[in-house]
Each structure stands twice: as structure tokens, then as C-alpha cells.
Structure 1
Amino acid sequence: MKKIGFLLFLLSLLILLVPLQNQASASEARVHIFLDGSELNVSKDAKVTNVNGSIMVPFRVIGENLGFDVKWEQKSKKVLISKDKTSMELAVNQKNATVNGKKVKLDTPPLLDKNIVSVPVRFVSEQMGLRVSWDNADKAVYLTTAEAPPAKDNGTGAGAGDVPVPPPVTRPDSTGNPSDGQDEGTGPVTTTPAAGQALINGISFSENRLMVSTQGGAVTPKVFTMSGPDRVVVDLPNTSFSPDFLGGQAAGVGNQSELEVSGYPDVSKIRYSQFSSNPATVRIVIVLNYAKDYAVYNENEGPDSGLLIVDLNKTGSAEPPVTPPVGGNGKKVVVIDAGHGDQDPGTTGYSKTKEKDFNLAVALKVGQLLANEPGIDYVLTRSDDTYLKLAERAKIANDLNADVFVSIHANSTGDKSTAANGTETYYQRDASKELARVIHNYVSKATGLKDRGYKYGNFHVIRETKMPAVLIESGFISNPKDEAALFSESVQNAIAQAIVDGIKEYLGIQ
């Protein structure tokens, strides 16, 4: 009797485990499928299933929506799919398929469930010449024909999906998305930039404007909107991330990164990734809180550098206009540069504080004050913990034809000495000397630290900018007294106000 009881216990345990095992290997969801930006008509009864990372779609959906000829052979349990010069046979529960007479191995075989046969959408689509990506956040499959550019959405679109050096990627195409960085059926694919491609050096968001700094070849962006939720999607073809932008790491196709954005009611977040490696494409997605018009400004100043701006303050076509995105109507253009950022922390303070954090905190406060000045348009080179090359910081100001450039920093002795202290301001050209004098007078009083004067300095950002430009060393964070002052809210507020007051006096704005 004990033996029979034990067997009954095992049987009941197996009955409980089988549904759990099936649940772990396959999950059903209301998945959306898009072809060249337009959603396919998939009935609610046609369940799309995720089996071990492979998206399984009823084969009738493929035939009805993609224009393939599909047939089902009941006796042999085979699906026959053909279009143009390509034909394939897939058998239920068989991992070997036949494409144009040649055997090809499948990661996941066709499934038969309740008289519905599902096939792996990636395998079928890629064999027919389509590119496929999967957005896990939106539960969406994106199919793209080789010749089709992204187009304006019909109101049912979805989100994004973020050269090669030999050996090349073995798959015919590897795509990902900024949501989970996963390529259906495989992990992220590592790539490195190749010669001839444009490279992204910086991405920042300031004053409701996305700014993308590039170098290398000219970039022609494809910008379009999608909904559910609302987005502005920016595709940059023949583009990869520079090693500097990635902190020396190689770009992974599908590896998602996110730009922190706060204080902008239009924008929920910004995400970006190496969308595909073949062709190399970077995708940046501005996730909106509601539908929003935009304008695109693409400044390609030759083969070596460019600045793309997606302006949510403007309306109109995505075609690059001739006028600059800021300024006009008598307004002065001011660029505020928070030094360092991301993998470049700048100097380290006496209490292990980071210069980049001080610089950004003050720059954001300056931006908040300048936003209340009707005679000034301003741009922050970075509004979060983002890395930009020195050349890109200067380029932003030059491309905007700014009237004033101010770079915010904190100083250090570079050794264990804590004696050095005080505030100093640098200029590089005679045209910047008066701006340095005026701003330094305000900032030095605001810090309450030793006045070290304004002086000549050969720093890149004030040398390569074409307008009056200064670099402020607010104090020595290697000095414990200076550090304590600079990282206090009251002193930071005072410095920000001093910078604004100095800019206004120099520009003659009341």
C-alpha cells in the first residue's frame, strides 16, 4: 500500500509540473506585427506565441498579409510557402526545413495546436528577403523590406527596435531594439565601427531638442512618428557609435541604452541602440507623453562632422530647413557647457566628489534661469550624465552661431595638496577677454572664495569656438573648504545666478 501511495504521489506531481513546464517554454500575448511601419491585420483569434525566444505566427497570417503563397498538407503535416523564386517546406515538429531544395536547420520547428499551425516568423521572413526585429517592451514584430524606407505611421505604429570588421556577422541580418536589446532567437551581436561609416560622438537633450553629434561621413536621417505610445523615431543609416561614446566598448546590436530626461512634459524618455549591423543603422527613439510635432535640422559641414537636431518646439516637415533652430527675432543665443560627463568624471574632490556632477548641477540651474529671459535662447551641451568630445562641444556652439559660450568646471591641484583654493576664469582670444572680466566679477563674488582673477588659457572649448567664450573654474574641489562650498545648494544657486547676470550685462540685456 505504501508503494501504491508513493506512485500516486509521483503521478499527481507530474500532472502539476507539466502545465508549468509548458508555460515556461511558450507564452501567448497580443503581439503586433508591422510591415514597413504599417500594422498587419491579425485577428484576435490568431495567437502569436513566443517559444524559447522564437516568435511563432499562424502560417495563414503570413499568406494573407505578406503576399506569400501558403499551403497546408494535412497528411504529411507540412507547410508549403513560396513567393517569386523562393519556395520552402516546413514540417510540424521537425527542425529541418527545405529552402529551394536545400536543407536548413530551424531553431524552433512549426507547431500544431488546436488545428492551428504556427511557423517561426523570423526564419520565413528572412528567407523571403525581409529584415526582422522584435521589440519586447511593445510586444511587436517589425518586418522591413530591403528597399522600403520608414514612413509616417498610420496611427498604429510602435516603437524602436539601438561596420563590421572581419569576421563578419554570420547571420544575414542582426537587428535589435532599444527595449531589451535581444535579437529574436539569439543574444546581442557585438560589432565595431568600420571605415567609411559615420560615428556618433554624443547624444543630448536640452530645451526640448534632441542633439546628435556625428563625425565621418554625411548622415541623412530618416525621422518618422509612431503611436501606442507616441514616439518620434530617428533612424541614422550607415552609422555606428564611436568607441569614445561607448567608453571603449564595442557596440552590440540590440544593446539598449537610455538617456535620462526629466523636467520636460512632452517627453517620457529617450532610448537608443545599434538597431542593425547590416546595414549599420543607429535608432534613437523619443518616447512622448502625447503626440507632438517636430522639425529636423541636419547640419552636415563636410565629410568630417555633423549635428542633427530634432526640435520638439517647432512644427512642420521633417525636411531640413535653412534657418537655425534657435535665435532670431532679436534673441541672443547662449550655449552653456557642463564640462566632462559619463565616463569622464573630471577631477575628484577631497571627499571623493566628482567634478562632472558639480558642473552639470550648475549648468542645469543656469538653464532654468535663462529660460525666464525673453531675449535669450539657450542650449545646454549636455543635460544629463552624457559624454561629449571637446570638439563636439565647440561644434554645437559654432553650428548654432551662438553669441556667447560658457563652460563650467571645478579645479584641482592634481596631487594630494589641499592648499590651492579660489575662483578663476579663462579666455583664449582677445574677443573673449571682456566676457571673462564681466562674468568673473559676478562668479567670484558668488562663490565667496579667493579671487584668482581672469586670465589667458589655451583650452580647446574656448579656443575652437568662434564666439566670445570663457571657461570658469569655480573653485578647487581638492580643497575641503572650496569643495564644501561648491557642493552646497545655496552656492550653486548663487553661481548660476552670477553666470546669468554676467551674460546679460555683457550682451546688454536688462
Structure 2
Amino acid sequence: MASGRQINQRRVFLRRALFASSAGVTGLVWPSLLLAAGRVQLHGLRTSVDGEITRLVFDLDGPVEHALFTLSNPDRVVIDMRGVRFTGELPQAELSGSPLRGLRHAVRNDNDFRVVLDLARPANPRSFLLRPTDDARHRLVIDLQQEGAVASAAPASPASQTRSSEPARNPDVIVAIDAGHGGRDPGAIGPAGTFEKDIVLSIARRLERLVAAEPGMQPLMIRTGDYFLPLRERIERARAGHADVFVSIHADAAPNASASGSSVFILSERGASSEAARFLARRENEADSRLGLVTSDKDDVLTSVLLDLSQTGTLESSNTLADSLIGELHRVGKVRSPRVERAGFAVLRSPDVPSVLVEAAFISNPQEERKLRTTRFQESLAEALLGGLRQYFANHAPPNTLLAERRNGNGGTQHVIRRGETLSGIASQYQLSVNQLRRHNGLRGDVIRVGQVLEIPGRGS
């Protein structure tokens, strides 16, 4: 089994490789869809702001092919919709606190409809499509994430990749906290009408406050309000924020109303560990399709290859994190399974972030539904999750974080090799001899590689 240090090295390599794989891409074109006969009618535009995300929703009467790209000097986002017609004016969407300061639109090539978003400052755009539901048409959704709000997932140019070294590591470990469901997706509904989406958001906010108060930890909330997020978008937000772990919180239902207790799941590609795990995974994964989300079943080739190479290390870390959480959940109440469960949850498919899904209790059980509604249980659960995180990071904190330095009892630290560094230069940086550095790390020569982690001995070692 790989050590925590080896797994951390794999994740550093994977993040760098995934980031570099998209270098040089300046425009984004989404997969084609089969258009219905005739042109698609655009009916209107709705806009909203949630924290650092500005969302634009185009209401359409059919599916649409679209392209999305950015321009600079001045900063703009351009959306081209093929075969779309529109008569009238779109509302001017200048929103307080948003990078959007206006928009323009025009017919292009006698067939396409172009919308130009004028920005007050740079933003990273993403898009997804929603199929019709009972009370909504086809929708094209554009999210603008302000640059600098979290560590950007936008690709850099090849030149900047060569010139600059990897950015300095955040001294805090970053805990992505994902409250399941939201918006038009209420999740499971208890016998008394309790919505899962409301309960898990309350628990997530309590965990956020505890993590924020914990020295060496920093929370990253994936969902901060009552709105819908696709499963893939949850993963992308965690990766864009350079999360070190991803904890998804749920309170699901079971066919048997007497089912009770908490459980912790990690990803399985080889089938579920139990029938209950299979049922829960199927229910959660259907959340996107129930709301009409269009997704592609073709992953990026390089991402798929890297996933195959690295998933073992990430799953080992996920399993260790899940074990730590189960140990603490025993303090809160019944744990349905004393072992880590495995199932194919789509929200756990991040290739480089250890990810777990916590079922706090079964909202379909009347007794557990009442418990889930109480402040006392929600707070106890958040405290148990924090305890599990503490236990995990005690031995698996990433290099160059405060928790990693605290782990080294001799007062030493860790150093991740960056491009252009030499062993003698690192020794000089820490006021050591090259021989000291070699001996402490069991090195036989001066050959080091980018991404390698060196233990730096404390004074007097």
C-alpha cells in the first residue's frame, strides 16, 4: 500500500498534468447536439448573482449548439448559438457585485445568434444545458466566476507554464464541503415533509464554521444557497479551489422506512459494496437527469488516462478519510455500517481529490427525520466530521501546509521540488549542507525531480 507521502506526490503530479493538458486553449466549444427541424426560438434571459458566481439562463424552445469563448482588451465573453432566432431586446443585466456590466446581441451569418457580455473585470465562463421540466423550457446556462475568487481553473498559455513555477501552496488545507441537492432538486423528502436539501445545507454551514475556526484548515463551500448545481460542476468547483479533500453531505431515503444510521461512502468502479449502496448511488446519480441536465459520456482522453494511473492513490486516501470519519460518527449515534461502503457515486469521481459521501441519517425514517431537524444533532454531526478531518490530516496533510509542519515533531518541514531547483540551492535556502539533506532523505546522489517531496530536518537534527 502506498504511503501518505507517495500519494501526495502522485496528486501533485496529477494536478500539474491535468492543468498542463489544457494549456493554450483560448476558446471552449461544447459537444454538438442534434437540432430539431427549423430554427430554435430564444424566449428570454434571466440573471442572478450568488457569491462569486454570476449566472445567466437563456430560455429556449429547443436544444441548441453553442460556442463560448473570451476576448480581452476590453474583457468580453462571447456566446454563439447556432440556428437561434430572437425578436426583441434582452434585458441589460448590470448586476451589483458582478463582473458583468452589460450585454449586446446580434444576428450572425443570417442564422446564428451572438451575445457579447461586456465585463468590468476578467471572469472565467462555463456553460451547461438543461432539458425541459414540468415548469421550464430548454435552458442554456452560463456561469461567470470572478478571477481570484478561488484558485482559477482556467488554462494558462504554454509560455506561462514554462516561465513560472507552481504557485506557492496555501498554508491551510482546503476542505470542500458539498451540501447535496438544492434548488428544484429537493433530494429525499421525509414523512413529515422535510427536504433533504435544507437539512444538509444547515449541517454543511455548521461544518464550515468549525473548519474555519480550526488552525490550519480552510473551508470551501460548494453550495452556499438554495440553488441547483450539476454533479460535475460540484467536482469542478472543488478542483478549481484546489481542495485537499471533498466531503459531500446527504440524508437520503431507503425503501425500508426502518432503515437507520449513518454511513460513509467512497467511489467504486467495480460495483456497489451492498444493495443499499447500489440503491443510494442510483438515486443520487439520477439527480441531474431528473432536472433535464445534458451531459456528455465522452471524457477528455488525457483525463481518462491520468485517472486510470492515479485513481488507486486517490481511492486509498479516500478510504483512509472515510475510516477516520466513521470512527468519529460512532460518537454521535448509530453507524449503519462499521466499514467503508463503496458505490459509483458520480459526485465522487474527482481524479485527484480524496472524496467521500456522508449519509448523516435516513430522512425516510420518522425518528431519524425528527433528529435531523434538531440543532443538537446537526451540531454533533458537524463536530464528528471535524474530528474525522483532524484525524485524517494528522498523517496525510499535504506538503508545505501548517498541518504538515505540525506533524514533523522535530520542527522540520517539507519542500516540494519546483522546476529549476537544485539540491545545493535547496540546502542553501534552509541553511543546511548538501550532505545533511541527502542523509535525511536517503538520497545517493544529487538527482531530484519536479514534484518530489524532501523532508527538511529541523535545527539540531
TM-score where L is the length of structure 1: 0.44
Which is strand-richer, 1 or 2? 1
TM-score where L is the length of structure 2: 0.48
Higher RCO (C-alpha under 8 Å, 6+ residues apart): 2
